[in-house]
Structure 1
């Protein structure tokens, strides 16, 4: 095979941004698989350049030049930028390949704009693409292995691609690591719910941790596992064997069922400083929080007690909630969440609007069969800018009223002050304050209020939300055009629209 010039583009941001959150954190949100693909390509003898786009760079200047092949990794919210970049690179004669969550969720849309679209990707998958490496303008080729790879290059092998991205982070530099893929839980809305859990090599973890000690005095590691610590004892043994206690700082997303007090003591000893458990709902998904028989007020009390106990061992806790689940009805779920905010003032609540992502979960078939999925452009599918499924038990204005009320309550001056006072660590206090007053708190509140006002004043806007019209309101089109900037001109024709029921039509071809 001829030596190829290969570009790898990791889209952390969907367009230019200058928010405080982006400046501090976006470089720490780099994905692992673009680094893995870059490493695999180099191992096959090719010349590789990787860029991580955080929204702060001049993308026109940063993009790799004169490449034969370009791999683009994208979440769905950055899909339109990915489509525009593919169109641009194709015009330069390059073959384009899409990977990442969007490729897994919407392969039938992505093949319209890429030569190759990759689902589960192994080293052999990359070798096949590079061996074939040809333009497919009529329709790209979709490739996906039957499961996640059993082995991935570790930090040491990926370091030449990790280090330049971390240098963009002005304060916190968080090295991305992965100890497992898949998830043992079956949350119906989650992309990992149907992916078998499998741990990766603990020997590689040990080697990587020891390697990081040659690069940092006290490395900070962000675990990208969908649910860290399922093999708890083995994970802790790997960390403890790499260096003495206190040698690392770790951030991880895990479930409350794993975060028992006995486990928290061990996590504290091994340097875990931030944990992100999923509460999700006061009425379902209790297997993640050891509250499968508890609902409503009882669950709030038990979860709050658990979260408050966690602060004896870790300085930062984010609790994740999904708003708009079919089990939610009336005022109670929102009032219960307010009650939780009061009972656990140090915790930072992360709210997501229920959203469905193409083929991400089997439950999406039920939503599509019921005609509840809306054709919102991919640009807004990030769990908060748009809810692309009609709520089961709320009208749109009523739902936004409740979301606005909860968000305003959570990020009121009083709540921010109480969170600041209750948080036990200075860095954690600053992080919570920054998130509250930037795009995540105040920014979302402003946007939700804009949407509510449009729902009341603009009939065409309301018809789009009700599924009575497919005409995209100018409000959303103008946001896309502004965010894409110079890349708007490269957006392929038809890319603003997609078949929101493609998964259903593919699974049941007779359904019209």
Structure 2
């Protein structure tokens, strides 16, 4: 089961920026090698050993693997560069292992890196994120390598990553895009990509990586609707409910939208994203569920994204309201996220200022089912108990039966069953942690912030996660440096500050 998930799902997580960097390097005349790691095999064998420069991108959960690889490449005399979500969030920690840390990049910055313009031990950045996204045609070598079977044939769920915009207009304090500027990308580029896919990869699934898709709704959908009905590929988006109002769900259907994953986040906050004004509590649940019902009439698969454990959450109400939403909208599969304090966000700054980050917790645990902060209104035992309550309701046999009755699509039925099995596995993980909180005073003291000594349980799990690479990282290497970064130097482009 784990192998199948990694092959068919994790393999499709490859992001666009590393592909863009590969294209830019190739255009500059360099011999370029590109590979993705999705949990199978030995990542250090995916690229040649005699490289001049290696660019690595990763998210925080797998940063220790990236650090181990950086040590191997440095030993071989390779210049090491890290970018991506983890580098943006924790650049100071990355500098312990990489020669250069990139916060934002563009073709000019990459050219300067390749020509040796920066000294090792530097955090660098373009003036803003790049707008010139290489086309699907230009990225096809990278797409084949990341999404196809052995780089040749598409898998059943092989997807093409695309962007129609950059940035997000919302200011959610937990999100790494909280201070980004929303910018729609040129419509002619999107149109060219859709034409290319219709000719060369017809009906291949598109996954739009936009933080918030189609904020400029009419501009984007006029391009999608301009494609002949028989040539409109299925696509997946993340968007806010406030964008998907009025007759827009119908336009999703007409353009072959296969899945939408709106962020509800909380029943007491972030209501601007849900399009309900200042409405909260039960009234917000009713209105959001009705909106999801309208979407369900037009989109085959829906996901509702929640956060539980925010500072606005307290008592039984958040749990009961989320369970009420599940009952009203069983066709919308919920994801219930534990708040993670990614660096550079207001949430991280607030929790740092109040001493609520478990500072010795390795980055491997910056994801569910693990808790890396103290929760304002719940002690650890109560918090995990309520997580179990939420997940048990979502994964109950009765709820699964209700979900299956909402669709006649066999594939979606399989997805509901698979995700329910995943939730039940998560419940087992939550119960294991809850059991240690109840039985091990030192484990509880760590999660209450009364001791910084890392429990043996996390040390063992960390070793298992790293596997053969564990010997490359000392205990000090695995302890995060959460120091704030100084603003990196920006490079000037031809049209001003980049």
Range of TM-score over shorter length: over 0.9
Distance 1:493 1:34 in 2: 30
The residue correspondences of 1:255-294 to structure 2 (distance < 5 A) are 255-294=240-279
Match for residue 175 of structure 1?
160
Shift of 1:20: 3.6
Match for residue 433 of structure 2?
451
Match for residue 412 of structure 2?
428
3-state SS of 1:222 partner: strand
Distance 2:94 2:289 in 1: 42
1:411 equivalent to 2:387? Answer no
Matching residue within 449, 453, 471 for 1:471: 453
3-state SS of 1:251 partner: strand
Q: TM-score, normalised by structure 1?
A: 0.91
Match for residue 492 of structure 2?
none
Distance 1:489 1:133 in 2: 33
Match for residue 74 of structure 1?
58
Deviations 1:3-27 (A, max 9, x none): xxxxxxxxxxxxxx93442232112
Match for residue 8 of structure 1?
none
Match for residue 485 of structure 1?
467
Distance 1:165 1:105 in 2: 24
Does structure 2 conserve the Cα–Cα contact (< 8 Å) formed by 1:21 and 1:435? no
Deviations 1:158-216 (A, max 9, x none): 11111122213632111000111110111111111100111112111111111112222
Deviations 1:244-270 (A, max 9, x none): 355210100001111124011111111
Does structure 2 conserve the Cα–Cα contact (< 8 Å) formed by 1:261 and 1:310? no
Segments of structure 2 that go 5 or more residues without pairing to the other structure are 488-498
Matching residue within 312, 334, 340 for 2:297: 312
Distance 2:332 2:115 in 1: 50
Does structure 2 conserve the Cα–Cα contact (< 8 Å) formed by 1:95 and 1:133? no
3-state SS of 1:308 partner: helix
Match for residue 31 of structure 1?
15
Does structure 1 conserve the Cα–Cα contact (< 8 Å) formed by 2:33 and 2:47? no
Shift of 1:492: 5.1
Does structure 2 conserve the Cα–Cα contact (< 8 Å) formed by 1:219 and 1:247? no
Match for residue 232 of structure 1?
217
Matching residue within 119, 123, 131 for 1:150: 131
Count of residues in correspondence between the two structures? 482
Match for residue 252 of structure 1?
237
3-state SS of 1:351 partner: strand
3-state SS of 1:185 partner: coil
Shift of 1:223: 0.3
Does structure 1 conserve the Cα–Cα contact (< 8 Å) formed by 2:112 and 2:118? no
Does structure 1 conserve the Cα–Cα contact (< 8 Å) formed by 2:52 and 2:79? yes
Distance 2:397 2:246 in 1: 32
Match for residue 164 of structure 1?
145
Distance 1:66 1:410 in 2: 50
Does structure 2 conserve the Cα–Cα contact (< 8 Å) formed by 1:84 and 1:492? no
The residue correspondences of 1:286-435 to structure 2 (distance < 5 A) are 286-359=271-344, 361-375=345-359, 376-382=361-367, 384-435=368-419
Shift of 1:111: 0.6
Q: TM-score, normalised by structure 2?
A: 0.93
Match for residue 6 of structure 1?
none
Farther-moved stretch of structure 1 (313-322 vs 350-359): 350-359
Distance 1:336 1:246 in 2: 41
Does structure 1 conserve the Cα–Cα contact (< 8 Å) formed by 2:135 and 2:193? yes
Distance 2:41 2:226 in 1: 39
Distance 1:174 1:368 in 2: 38
3-state SS of 2:132 partner: coil
1:222 equivalent to 2:204? Answer no
